[in-house]
Structure 1
Amino acid sequence: MLEAGEAPCPGFSTEKISFEMVISAVGHPLYLNDLRSHAGKRPAPVQMEVPQTVKRSSGIKPNLFWDKTAYVLGVTAVEDSDGQLTPGQGKRTADEHAAFAAMHCELLEGIDDDGLRALLAFLDKWKPEFFAARGFPVEALDQNIVFRLDGDTGPNGAPRFLHQRSSVLPLLVISDQRDSALCLVTGKEAPLARLHPSIKGVMGAQSSGASLVSFNDQAYESFGKSQGENAPVSEQAAFAYGTALNRLLAKDSTRNLRVGDTTIAFWAEAETPEAAGFSEMLMSNAFSPPDEAAEANMLRAHVRKIAEGRAGGDPKFDPSTRVYLLGLAPNAARLSVRFWHPGSFGDFARNVARFWDDLTIEPAGWKGPPAAWSLLYETAIHVGGKARADTIPPLLGGNVMRSVLTGQPLPRTLLSAVVGRIRADGHVNGRRAAVCKAVVNRISTKEEIPVSLDPDNTNPAYRLGRLFAVLERAQEAALPSLNATIKDRYFAAASATPARVFPLLVKNANHHLSLVKKGESGGLGRWLEKQLGLIWLGLEADLPRALALEDQGRFIAGYYHQRWTKSEKNGEDQ
């Protein structure tokens, strides 16, 4: 990533910067320039490589050569009597600015660099009241600010900031005088990271970032070791993994996605950057397939080509390309690893293709290849027609993705959650039926539930689902003005305890069929009566007293097939 210009140099991190303070050679503040992008509806900070950010909790810790205005200028936004924001000071703003000035005065003492001497002079002369006196913009308050020496340019002739001057880099190099130990990542003796980097971009975690490794209490320490010494990782390795993860999880990155409560980072290693980029693009599209039919068909074709090893010498379709997927979720102030899956591009393509095949059902539940995250929304509570993501069962996203990536059976908890939602809201759609089909078939390792209606399927639960659909259709045909059908009243009970419910439903169906046959839809009535007879022929006299979870899934699939398959007789949805 460093070689490709995608990651900052050691000692730096990518942060959001909004303004620059331009100072003269003797430290006078000349301008406070706005660096933000004004292309959108609101001004947006620019992403800039600056000296690595410090980790703050409740203490005062300044950053080197940049920070928010409270540290850099000693001012923050406060409300005046009219409710307008004006430059002022909070309870500890003065202490924050003093810490920023003291740190730089100590670090830069005796430095032989015009720009850094100008910074020292600025810190010596600056007073917080200068902000308002010089008419600096209120929009800069509490934003991150960097410094630039007036007229200073880099080797390419472009203006450069103070932290980009060659004299700054030696000041950021980690001293090797710290205690060294064996790094668990590299296997080499090196200075250890006392605090690990904050990882940003994980959904549900703190916006300021959370750590993969941290020890914030003596109860978690042992053998007299403190903080990072308990899990020895070198400064270099900690910087590397933290920088790489933050780049992968950045908002503008295409190498991450969210599935439930899990944030997934993924990447590929190939012989050329172009091949790696193609692999990552295909992985991203496989997780969130496009809606446009032509693009979706092309995606299916590419995945099949890789899954079947038909690379044809093209490195982009090489099934041996290494791919890596990391699932992260918030856990208090830390991050939990939901899954870690290194593998080959070919295995990834085969498992994704199988996942799509498992969810294939007629009539189709999706316009194109299904996205893994879309399954989770079938388990969520809907309010005002929209699914509430916070009601998706925790851990489900990680478990589903683990099954998709490894080809293992989909979790029974997914089936349980979908069946539970159907019992609660009575809504049986193609997506929910497809989930039931996929989970049941993977658990049983054979196609117990077919893609489309199978009249010859003898499974009692499947046939009972079909039977319920015919009974519902008969009621609708006989009593079209009903506000609530038997599905609204009895579906949950019929799918769980059929022996108790179906005798009553069949008794009422005889009356419904009699009404239909006497009316204008006599042909439909006779067709429904025939369907009832054919389905009953495949059932035992004693109906099951209760259906297990997998059988409830079969019931739902049978109902969906029978209810929405076109009638061979008249083409109507039955």
Structure 2
Amino acid sequence: MILQSLVRYYEALEKKEKITSPGWCTAKVSFALDISEKGELLRVIPLKLEKQKGKKTVMEPQLLRVPEMVTRSSGVSSNFLCDNSGYFLGIDNKGKPKRSEECFAAAKKKHLEILDGVEGNAAAAVRNFFESWNPGGAAEHPALADSLEEMIAGANLIFCVDGDWVQNDYDVREAWEIYRDGAETDNEGICLVTGQKTEISRIHGLIKGVPGAQSSGAALVSFNAPAFESFGKEQGYNAPVGTYAAYAYTTALNHLLADKSHTSQIGDTTVVYWAEDGEEIYQNIFGGAVEPTVDNQAIVAGVFNSLEMGKPIVVEEVEGSLSLDQRFYILGLAPNAARIAVRFFYQDSFGNILRHLKEHYDRMDIVRPAADEMRYMGVWRMLQETVNKKSRDKKPTANMAGAVYRAIISGGQYPASLFQGVMGRIRAEQDDKDSHIHKITKGRASIIKAYLIRNGYDKEEEITVSLNENSKNVAYTLGREFAVLEAIQEEANPGINATIKDKYFNSACATPAAIFPVLFKLKNSHIRKISNHGKVVYFEKLLGELQDKMPVTEEQMVPCPRRLSLEEQGMFILGYYHQNQKRYEKKDKEEAQDVRDN
């Protein structure tokens, strides 16, 4: 299904002339060998361009359309019209001159075979070059002096004749197409992707651009040992994919991975996404919705509002509106030695995927500090809440990251590892006496809220965006009580460095019956220090109201459970967070009123 979807995407892009056709590919090219019709090397033309990467300006090779390049793992096999110095000049920096000679001989044989009898200056120049070039004297050639070191490091080279790239010459292009179409094959079969009888590809093209995989490219489909083969089939013949389909899916996937504006990194997983009709605007909308920034919060809100009201989604750069029925695909890839592993693959209508995203953001919505403008927290920011900020590797757990992404876009339940990761980080940072990190952030509270709602803990719909003063949930009420007790301590000791939260929070959250009697004794001594009688009355009244929400049975005279489950601990943290935000909200209003009065 993945390969079929990629082939359809390739065909959509080919109709729009946004991608190379069969027999051609896009390659990074660093230099052009400018040669005369007699095959003499006149000069080397640098092709690298300046590009801005963050605050730095770097030189990067140009992306040029060249004849399809071969897949090389070992052995000698030449490309046509675009290859490295070992094949075109017979020299490289690998310290194996004999192999370099073999590479040049292979390139010479291939070019002379393809260009035999082809008319035109370009074809004649390349034939003459290979017939006259002496690999033994390459290092001393004056035209190579300035660029030799960089060229022999593995840079791709092309040929230039009379100011034009040879691969663009009409006669040369026609010769390449004839050579490619006329290649003999003994391996025909039914392609599993297209369903047609065609030549089966023995080795599929490499996929480049997956961080962590081999920089030269890794295979999505490959068989490299007898243990993976069956019925006497070798390599790609074990999963018969036609040469056209193999070219189409690898070209489409490389095109997606090369477009960094429409890829995202979640842990070790690289996520690419596309619409079946090849329209880029769908990628723009999805990318902005799944990883919102501070600047596009209003745009995302507008998309979701239109969706909720049943209105068409209108985008400025598109005539008319986007189709919510458009087929949309999301693919997560991860490195796996010489191969690429598929973390997840999801397909649905564009409208359904947006609805799932909106439902996720609605569950994540929680009261936030006045200065926080991030209404929509993207997946990457969400997963960062599970990461130890002091660790060297600040990536979330790989499997968990992929499972969370898949749950969000599909509308499924969140993995338990997400909830456990957040709770674990809160406990760990709470126990870290040297940590100055705010342990219960808005992000962590949002994740707890979303998890408890989606995974079925909140059966009575008690969990709200802000403080639910009517909730009688015991764990939630205990969290609120803890926040009030901490507020009393801070009111009694202005500017205090450490509060009851630093010493008692984890134990109060897990075993409240053992801790809350201690906290209430401390409260009595703290409240005597408060000189403002009005605040004393306020705090006592609030604690009384909270105590009234706690059920007391004959078997349990103390209105505290002995232990709280992990989900109940999440409710405790939500109660604490909500009560604190209510308190800060009141402070903000009082400060604003003081400003107006003055």
Q: Label 1:228 to 1:4 Cα distance change in 2 as closer, same or farther (>3 A).
A: same
What's 2:90 paired with? 74
Q: Is the 8 A contact 2:37 2:161 kept in 1?
A: yes
What's 1:216 paired with? 224
Q: Is the 8 A contact 2:27 2:65 kept in 1?
A: yes
What's 2:519 paired with? 505
Q: Label 1:511 to 1:182 Cα distance change in 2 as closer, same or farther (>3 A).
A: same
- Which of 417, 420, 423 lines up with 1:419 in the alignment? 423
Aligned-partner Cα distance in 1 for 2:462–2:270: 33
Q: Is the 8 A contact 2:38 2:125 kept in 1?
A: yes
What's 2:577 paired with? 560
What's 1:196 paired with? 204
Q: Is the 8 A contact 2:123 2:172 kept in 1?
A: no
User: Which runs of structure 2 are paired with 1:301-340 in the superposition (5 Å)?
Assistant: 301-311=302-312, 315-340=320-345
Q: Would you say 1:44 and 2:63 are equivalent positions?
A: no
Q: Is the 8 A contact 2:114 2:175 kept in 1?
A: no
Percent identity reads: 37
Provide Cα deviations, 1:421-456, integer angstroms capped at 9, x if missing partner: 111113101111001000101112653321001121
Q: Is the 8 A contact 1:15 1:48 kept in 2?
A: yes
Aligned-partner Cα distance in 2 for 1:184–1:266: 23
- Which of 340, 356, 364 lines up with 1:359 in the alignment? 364
TM-align CA RMSD: 2.8
Structure (1/2) with the larger helix percentage: 2
Aligned-partner Cα distance in 1 for 2:93–2:310: 60
Q: Would you say 1:407 and 2:411 are equivalent positions?
A: yes
Letter in 2 for 1:62: S
Aligned-partner Cα distance in 1 for 2:415–2:520: 35
Aligned-partner Cα distance in 2 for 1:149–1:35: 15
User: Which runs of structure 2 are paired with 1:439-458 in the superposition (5 Å)?
Assistant: 439-444=451-456, 446=459, 447-458=461-472
Provide Cα deviations, 1:353-383, integer angstroms capped at 9, x if missing partner: 1111111101266523221221110011103
Letter in 2 for 1:232: P
Q: Is the 8 A contact 2:512 2:563 kept in 1?
A: yes
Aligned-partner Cα distance in 2 for 1:536–1:168: 84
Letter in 1 for 2:524: N
Aligned-partner Cα distance in 2 for 1:66–1:400: 42
Deviation of residue 412 (structure 1)?
1.8
Structure 1 unmatched ranges of 5 or more: 79-87
Deviation of residue 569 (structure 1)?
6.7
Q: Label 1:56 to 1:499 Cα distance change in 2 as closer, same or farther (>3 A).
A: farther
Provide Cα deviations, 1:491-542, integer angstroms capped at 9, x if missing partner: 2222222223222222222222222x2x3x5543443333222222212334
Letter in 2 for 1:125: S
Q: Label 1:130 to 1:478 Cα distance change in 2 as closer, same or farther (>3 A).
A: same
Q: Would you say 1:225 and 2:233 are equivalent positions?
A: yes
Greater mean alpha carbon deviation, residues 551-560 or residues 92-101: 92-101
What's 2:25 paired with? 13
Letter in 1 for 2:490: E
What's 1:82 paired with? none
Provide Cα deviations, 1:122-149, integer angstroms capped at 9, x if missing partner: 1232234334431422343421110122
Letter in 2 for 1:196: H
Q: Would you say 1:543 and 2:560 are equivalent positions?
A: yes
- Which of 281, 285, 290 lines up with 2:288 in the alignment? 285
Q: Label 1:366 to 1:419 Cα distance change in 2 as closer, same or farther (>3 A).
A: farther
Q: Is the 8 A contact 1:268 1:323 kept in 2?
A: yes
Letter in 1 for 2:411: G
Letter in 2 for 1:329: A
Q: Is the 8 A contact 1:183 1:233 kept in 2?
A: yes
Q: Label 1:388 to 1:510 Cα distance change in 2 as closer, same or farther (>3 A).
A: farther
Aligned-partner Cα distance in 1 for 2:203–2:329: 26
Q: Is the 8 A contact 1:256 1:265 kept in 2?
A: yes
| Paired positions, count | 547
What's 1:465 paired with? 479
User: Which runs of structure 2 are paired with 1:516-535 in the superposition (5 Å)?
Assistant: 517=530, 519=531, 521-535=532-546
User: So what's the TM-score if we normalise by structure 1?
Assistant: 0.88
SS in 2 for 1:509: helix
Deviation of residue 54 (structure 1)?
2.3
Letter in 1 for 2:122: G
Q: Would you say 1:368 and 2:375 are equivalent positions?
A: yes
Aligned-partner Cα distance in 2 for 1:375–1:350: 19
SS in 1 for 2:175: coil
User: Which runs of structure 2 are paired with 1:47-446 in the superposition (5 Å)?
Assistant: 47-77=63-93, 92-109=99-116, 111=118, 114-128=121-135, 129-136=137-144, 137-138=146-147, 139-142=150-153, 143-151=155-163, 160=168, 165-173=173-181, 175=183, 177-250=185-258, 252-269=259-276, 276-292=279-295, 295-311=296-312, 315-363=320-368, 367-383=374-390, 388-390=393-395, 392-426=396-430, 427-444=439-456, 446=459
Provide Cα deviations, 1:251-292, integer angstroms capped at 9, x if missing partner: x4533222222222111245xx7xx33322211111122322
Structure 2 unmatched ranges of 5 or more: 1-12, 431-438, 552-557, 592-598
Greater mean alpha carbon deviation, residues 136-145 or residues 182-191: 136-145
User: So what's the TM-score if we normalise by structure 2?
Assistant: 0.84
Aligned-partner Cα distance in 2 for 1:337–1:322: 20
